């Protein structure tokens, strides 16, 4: 398999997933609180057990989009509030500084491609002084809830805005949903895995390479 270092060396543009590769946005218990905030809006609805107990606020949002579309705008707003609050305090990933140094040194066009709100991504980048490294944000806006990854929409929108071809770009993600969105848009994915189980899932999903999410040397592996 191609290594992370070679994929990065060959890439002419980078697409960066937010939660994971750049930020530790929703550690426990922040994730549970965000999911509670999303559920609070729809309190009276009868939720299936998986959605009533999930700690993934975006799973709640997807459920509402499918089953209670009349409430999706309110739930999206609650998700955005929780994400922005998290982005104001969360730690960066162990790779963020190295990635932005690489982007700056090689003057690479870069985009953040996230299912989280663009407002949360902006809050995070501004806090760390990284805004100048990111030419394009292709992140969730209220109207995009139905086109989140694994749909290729956000990846394709980033490519169009950066004016780069899929073959010139590398997408850095940490979920099978990122790998599927990249594949559907024709972009190779360098995946970050926090454990061995995820490493094999991401490999099976078709990642061009899988490296460590928690080890800063992962970019050189
Ligand atoms: O899709 C997710 O679960 C989280 O959002 P991300 O796109 O910033 O990683």
Here the CATH number for the domain that contains residue 17 is 3.40.50.1000
| 155 and 63 belong to one structural domain | no
Our count of domains for the chain comes to: 2
Same domain membership, residue 35 and residue 20: no
Predicted TM-score of the model (pTM): 0.96
Residue 159 to residue 168: CA distance in whole angstroms: 10
Contacts of 139 (CB under 8 A, 6+ apart): 18, 112, 113, 114, 115, 116, 117, 118, 120, 121, 154
Instruction: Identify whether residues 144 and 193 lie together within a single domain.
Output: yes
**Same domain? 140 vs 107:** yes
Strands (E) across the chain are located at: 13-16, 23-24, 91-92, 110-117, 136-140, 169-173, 188-193, 209-212
Measured between alpha carbons, how far is 87 from 210 in angstroms, rounded to an integer? 26
Q: Which domain holds residue 79?
A: 30-87
ipTM rounded to 2 decimals? 0.90
167 and 116 within one domain: yes
Q: Do 11 and 48 share a structural domain?
A: no
Cβ(210)–Cβ(193) below 8 Å: yes
Whether residues 56 and 125 share a domain: the answer is no
Q: How far is the CA of 114 from the centre of ligand 1 (A)?
A: 5
Give the orientation angle of helix 57-67 with respect to helix 72-87, to 10 degrees.
Answer: 170
Q: Ligand 1: distance of its center to the CA of 217 in Å? A: 23
The CA 96 to ligand 1 mean position distance, Å, reads: 16
Do 82 and 161 lie in one domain? The reply is no
**Which of 9, 190, 11, 13 is CA-nearest to residue 109?**
13
Task: Give the residue, out of 115, 140, 141, 172, with the most ligand 1 atoms within 8 A of its beta carbon, to mutate for a pocket test.
Answer: 115
Give the angle subtended at the CA of 58 by the CAs of 52 and 120, to the nearest 5°: 135
Mark whether 19 and 117 lie in a shared domain. Answer: yes
Q: Which residues line ligand 1 (CB under 6 A)?
A: 17-20, 58, 114-116, 149, 177
Q: Whose CA is nearest to atom 5 of ligand 1?
A: 115
Q: What is the pLDDT along the chain (221 residues), one digit of tens a residue?
A: 579 999 999 999 999 999 999 999 999 999 999 999 999 998 877 899 999 999 999 999 999 999 999 999 999 999 999 999 999 999 999 999 999 999 999 999 999 999 999 999 999 999 999 999 999 999 999 999 999 999 999 999 999 999 999 999 999 999 999 999 999 999 999 999 999 999 999 999 999 999 999 999 999 98
């Amino acid at each position: 398999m191609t290594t992370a270092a070679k994929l990065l060396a060959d890439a002419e543009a980078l697409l960066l997933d937010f939660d994971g590769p750049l930020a530790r946005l929703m550690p426990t218990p922040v994730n549970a609180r965000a999911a509670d905030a999303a559920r609070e809006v729809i309190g009276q609805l009868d939720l299936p057990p998986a959605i009533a107990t999930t700690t993934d606020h975006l799973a709640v949002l997807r459920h509402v989009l499918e089953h209670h579309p009349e409430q999706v705008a309110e739930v999206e707003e609650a998700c955005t509030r929780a994400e922005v609050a998290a982005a104001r305090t969360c730690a960066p990933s162990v790779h963020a500084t190295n990635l932005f140094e690489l982007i700056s040194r090689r003057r690479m066009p870069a985009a953040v491609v996230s299912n989280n709100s663009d407002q949360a991504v902006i809050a995070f980048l501004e806090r760390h002084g990284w805004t100048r490294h990111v030419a394009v944000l292709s992140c969730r806006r209220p109207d995009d809830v139905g086109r989140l990854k694994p749909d290729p929409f956000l990846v394709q929108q980033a490519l169009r805005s950066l004016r780069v071809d899929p073959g010139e770009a590398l997408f850095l993600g940490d979920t099978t949903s990122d790998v599927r969105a990249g594949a559907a848009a024709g972009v190779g994915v360098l995946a970050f895995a926090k454990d061995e189980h995820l490493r094999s899932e991401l490999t099976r999903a078709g990642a061009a390479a899988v490296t460590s999410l928690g080890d800063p040397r992962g970019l050189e592996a």
